[in-house]
Each structure stands twice: as C-alpha cells, then as structure tokens.
Structure 1
Amino acid sequence: MTIKENDFRKIDLNLLIAFAVLFREQSVSGAADKLHLGQPAVSGALSRLRDMFDDPLFIRSGHRMQPTARAISLHTELMPLLEQLQSALFQQAEFHPAQAQVTVTLGMTDWVEMWLMPVLIPALSAVAPGVRLNVVASDPFSDAERLEAGELDMAVSVAPGGPRWLEREPLTTMGLTTLWHPAQLKIDGALAVNTFCDHPHLLVSYREANSSQIDTLLAKQGLARYVSYTTPHFAALPGLLATQPVFATVPAGLAQGWCHTWGFVAAAVPVEVPPFELSLLWHQRHNSDPALMWLREFIRSRMAQTGYATDCASMTAAMA
C-alpha cells in the first residue's frame, strides 16, 4: 500500500497517545497525571483532537467523560496500531535459534571454508537447524565492496582496515606453513632458505599475481624463488603437491589436516613472515539484525570453546 503523505499533515503522534490515555482515564485531570502534563495542555490536546476528527469524542457525564461512538470506533482501530508501533520502535526483536528459519550469506575463500566449516556446521545444526549458511566465494580485496552492496551479509576474511562502517570481530591470528610431499622432495632436517629457493613453488593468488610478500622478503636477502604455478584455489594444491617436487605455503590452519590426509611434511617458512588476523566482517547497518548478531557471537564463542583458534596460533608459534 502506498502511503499518502498529505493525509498525515495534521497528525501528531502525541495527540493519539493523549487520546488513548483520555479514553482509558475518562478524565482530563487523570490523563494529565498519567502523561505528566498540566491540565491546560491536555485540554488543548483534546481540543485539537476534536478538530482533527470533527467529533466531540468525550462527553462529560457526572465526574467522568464518556466516549462517543466515534471515539469508541477510533480506539478499537488505533490501539492495535499504537501497540505495533511501540513494539517496532522500542522493543528489539528476539532471536530464538532453535525456531529460526533464516539464510545468511557468508563470503570466504576456499581455505577458510575447508578449515572452519567442518567445525562450525555440526555445532550450528545442533542448536539452530533452521539457520542456513549460503557460502559464496570471495577474497580480501572485494569483501568490503560486496558487504556494502549487500551481496554478502558477513565475510570471514583476512582483509585489513576498511571503511568506517566496517565492523570487525577478530577470530584468530595465524601464520603460514610450507608443505611438501616426502615422496617428491627428500629434505633432511629443518627447511633452509636455500633449499626453499632451490625448488619450484605453487602460489595462490586472488589477482593473478605471480609473487607475494614472501618474494619481497626473499628479495631483501638477495634471494628469489621460482613460482611454477598460480591458482585462486587452495583446493587445487594437495593433488599437485602429491605428484610434483614442489613447495606450497599455506595458512597454518590447513597444515594439520592436510598432513594427516595427504601425508605432507610441514615446516616453518624460512623467512620471517608476519602472522595475519582472520576476522568476521559485516556492515554497521546490520548491528541491529538479531540473526546476524547471534551468528557472530556463535562463531566467536564456538571457536573459543573448542580451542580451535588457539590451536592454530599454537601451531604457528611452534613452527616459528
């Protein structure tokens, strides 16, 4: 229904509240007491109400003011609307995860999905079976733009900084780990930087670059590595590592699972790469969305309860 703005030009919400209290109290002095106003102010409000509705509304009968038929009709129609308005303005909607039916679109890279979802989804299904996660591929360079455009409700991202409206919930800090398959590369002892540079590398790049921060750090030492293959997908790396004499440097969160599944060897990167922060991002306009705020807290608390984030940080520290 389209609202006709001109129909509301003479409407003052305070007058409708005064009408509701007058109807209940049936007394100007009683209404004034409840509204914390003087009697002249309430008498003035009643006069304006009579003009607005072209009806006396209340007729004095003894010590009370009896409502007219028009007042009774107005009260019947207006009270449910005023109650709904009060609820919409002043009562934040409650979120009940067990009964909720909602879909949340989460942006993340494939490595975050492989690392986080096996822990998160079973726990989420147990407490909120009707909360559906729609995961879409994203990257740190586009997360803020897509959140602003409404393409994503939230993102799990390593994107640093961002515009003022960007809200952030840090989830964990982790570093990078270098992997290789022992059937493809025979390396005794610690992974030395020269050995690191002597063999080809696989690189995940979201913007088709064939170098990364690691190459910049190597260059400062007068060293260089050869990147033989680039891809935007971490999921492509295990099969290649299993069949090629190459290195791949990945987030530490992936290393333990991949080593167990694929039989890889893991070692600290032989150059000092600063750890990165993985965070949950969302637009400030969603701060009042009960479903999203519940999910934010659920992800944060679930990771804390399971020690998942701490395990990744400890793994990074142990390899340093």
Structure 2
Amino acid sequence: MSIREKDFRGVDLNLLVTLAVLLRERSVSRAAACLHLGQPAVSGALARLRELFDDELLVRVPQGMAPTARALALQAELAPLLEQLQTLLFAAPAFEPASATRSFSLGMSDWVEIWLAPKLLPRLRALAPKLRVALETTDPFTGSAMLEQGRMELGVSVFAPGPAWQQTRPLRSMGFAVVYDPKQLPLSAPLSLDDYLAHEHALVSYRGARQGTADRALAERGLSRVVSHTASRFASLPPLLKALPLLATVPEALADEWAASHGLRASPPPLDLPPFTVSLIRHAASGGDPGLDWLEAQILDIAGR
C-alpha cells in the first residue's frame, strides 16, 4: 500500500481525537472536560477541523450541537480506526504459546545443550507444540557475532563481554567436577590432589589451547598436570574416557548426567577452582519481543533448578 504524504500535512492526530470526542459528546464544554483541556483550546481545535474538512461538522441547535451528515460519516469511519491505532500503539503484543507457530534460533555451547536441551525441548513441546526451535552451536567467543549476523536470537553459554547492544542476563553460577571411568581408573571419590596429578587429563578447548582453568589454578601453587588429549566438544569426552585412563575437569552440570548415561564417576576437584557464570545473551533490538521474552523465561526457570 502507498500513501500520499502531502495529504497528511497539517493533520494532527490530536485533532482527530478531539473530533471523535466532540462527535460523541456533542458539546464543547463536555469534550473539553473529557480531554482535560480548556474550552478555548477545544473551540480552536473545532475551527481547525472545520477548515480541514471544509464542513461545519457540528452546528448549534437548542439542545446543544448537532453533527452534519459529513460529521456522521466521519464518526462511523473514525471511531474504529482510532481504536485500531490505540491497540497498535499502546497494547502489549500478545504471544500465545499454545497456538504460536514461529521459529526460534537458540545458540548453545555443546555442554549447555547436553545440560539444558533435554529439559527445555520437552517443556516447549508441551507448552507450545507448534513452535520450531533450531539449536545452533555457539561458544564464549562467537556469541556477539552470531547475534549481530542473525544466526541466533538467544544465546546460552559462558560468554566474553560483548558490545553495548548485547544484553546479558546471568542464569546460573556453577563450579566444576572431575569425571572418569572407574573401569579405566579404579579410583575412589573424592580424588586426592596426588591422584589428580598422577594421571593424564583430557581437556576441551574451543581454540586449541592446552591449558584451562585447572592449569592456571595449579600454576599458582607451582604445580602442573599432564594434558595428553584435547577435544573441541564436550560430547566427545564420554567415549574418550571410556576408552582411555583419563581424567576430565568439566562443568558440574554434566557430572550427574554422565554418571547416569555413561557410567562415569564424578568427584569434586581436589583444588579450589573459581566458579563461572552461565549467561543468556540477546540483541537489544529484540527487546519487547513477547515470544523471545517467553522463551527466555522458560530457560531461566530450567537453568535455575
């Protein structure tokens, strides 16, 4: 649809609202009270309306003011248009999960996907069966770019600080656990520091580094461990630990899951490791999107449990 912009020159939305009230009240004084304006202001507005429509619109009669035929025609058309405009401008957009059919792109690092997706996706299926969710792989270093490029709408991971337009919401503070296969390493939990240092380790690194949080904590004490295997995804660790006598220090949310699904054993780390924060990020431009707000609330609820 095209509009002729010049036709709207000199048209003030407040004038149309004043006209609607005048036609409803058929009295300048009553209209002024409804609009919280003085009578001179409403009289002036009526004069401008008469000029705009080239019609008297309201004429004086013994009982007050009577609308002209043009005014009655305008009233019939104007009232529903103003109601629609009011809804457009001021009503909060609705999102009905049970009937919504939209798609979401949700970015997660692979360990977050292992932790959250089995809880989140069944909930979404139950509450919003027509939704479609595309899980995209992200990591601490790619989150901002993926948001900016539209490759994800929400991201859940441990993220580096981002640009000013990136909104970050902490979800959960978390620590670490050490996991291993008791058939490969018949060790009792909790592990001692000697046990931790005596055996080789597997490390997940998104950028190929061979040192992580545990190595930095050990270095502060003048100690080191042997990292013999590195991987780019946490999902590759369980089969690796089942095949080799290795230890892996992982986010604690994975420990119970892998103990149940892979028969691995979990132990608290035998050294102090600082906790980390899992956050949700989104583009500031998505603020006010009721669908994303609803999805964010579901993730917040599940992550906090």
Both structures adopt the same fold (TM-score exceeding 0.5): yes
Within-5 A mapping of 1:1-320? 1-159=1-159, 161-187=161-187, 190-304=190-304, 308=305
In structure 2, relative to structure 1, the CA distance for the partners of 1:24 and 1:199 (3 Å cut) is: same
Residue correspondences, number: 305
Looking at structure 2, the residues matched to 136 and 173 of structure 1 have their Cα atoms a distance apart, in angstroms, of 23
Q: Deviations over 1:129-169 (max 9, x none)?
A: 23332211111222233334443221112225444444344
In structure 2, relative to structure 1, the CA distance for the partners of 1:209 and 1:267 (3 Å cut) is: same
1:244 is displaced (CA, Å) by 1.4
Q: Is the 8 A contact 2:120 2:298 kept in 1?
A: no
1:113 is displaced (CA, Å) by 1.0
1:257 is displaced (CA, Å) by 1.6
1:302 is displaced (CA, Å) by 4.2
Matched to 2:12, the amino acid is D
Q: Deviations over 1:232-255 (max 9, x none)?
A: 211111111111122222111111
**3-state SS of paired residue (2:7):** helix
Matched to 1:109, the amino acid is S
1:277 is displaced (CA, Å) by 1.6
Root-mean-square deviation (CA, aligned residues, Å) is 2.3
Q: Deviations over 1:23-71 (max 9, x none)?
A: 1122222222221222221111111112222222223333343333332
1:18 is displaced (CA, Å) by 0.7
**3-state SS of paired residue (2:254):** helix
1:21 is displaced (CA, Å) by 0.8
In structure 2, relative to structure 1, the CA distance for the partners of 1:39 and 1:208 (3 Å cut) is: same
Looking at structure 2, the residues matched to 72 and 90 of structure 1 have their Cα atoms a distance apart, in angstroms, of 27
In structure 2, relative to structure 1, the CA distance for the partners of 1:60 and 1:188 (3 Å cut) is: closer
Unmatched tracts of structure 1, length 5 or more: 309-320
**3-state SS of paired residue (1:88):** helix
Unmatched tracts of structure 2, length 5 or more: none
In structure 2, relative to structure 1, the CA distance for the partners of 1:36 and 1:260 (3 Å cut) is: closer
Give the TM-score normalised by structure 1: 0.85
1:318 aligned residue: none
Moved more, 234-243 or 212-221: 212-221
Looking at structure 2, the residues matched to 303 and 226 of structure 1 have their Cα atoms a distance apart, in angstroms, of 33
1:311 aligned residue: none
Matched to 2:104, the amino acid is V
Matched to 1:290, the amino acid is P
1:287 is displaced (CA, Å) by 3.4
In structure 2, relative to structure 1, the CA distance for the partners of 1:231 and 1:53 (3 Å cut) is: farther
Looking at structure 2, the residues matched to 81 and 150 of structure 1 have their Cα atoms a distance apart, in angstroms, of 35
Q: Is the 8 A contact 2:189 2:267 kept in 1?
A: no
In structure 2, relative to structure 1, the CA distance for the partners of 1:200 and 1:3 (3 Å cut) is: farther
Looking at structure 2, the residues matched to 12 and 260 of structure 1 have their Cα atoms a distance apart, in angstroms, of 67
Matched to 2:61, the amino acid is S
Looking at structure 1, the residues matched to 188 and 29 of structure 2 have their Cα atoms a distance apart, in angstroms, of 93
Q: Deviations over 1:79-101 (max 9, x none)?
A: 22211111122221233322322
Matched to 1:281, the amino acid is I
Identity %: 48
Matched to 1:87, the amino acid is T
Q: Is the 8 A contact 2:116 2:302 kept in 1?
A: no
In structure 2, relative to structure 1, the CA distance for the partners of 1:221 and 1:36 (3 Å cut) is: closer
Give the TM-score normalised by structure 2: 0.89
Looking at structure 1, the residues matched to 165 and 188 of structure 2 have their Cα atoms a distance apart, in angstroms, of 50
Looking at structure 1, the residues matched to 136 and 258 of structure 2 have their Cα atoms a distance apart, in angstroms, of 23
Matched to 2:268, the amino acid is A
Matched to 2:49, the amino acid is L
Looking at structure 2, the residues matched to 244 and 279 of structure 1 have their Cα atoms a distance apart, in angstroms, of 33
Stretches (4+) displaced over 6 A? none
Looking at structure 2, the residues matched to 280 and 94 of structure 1 have their Cα atoms a distance apart, in angstroms, of 23
In structure 2, relative to structure 1, the CA distance for the partners of 1:60 and 1:172 (3 Å cut) is: same
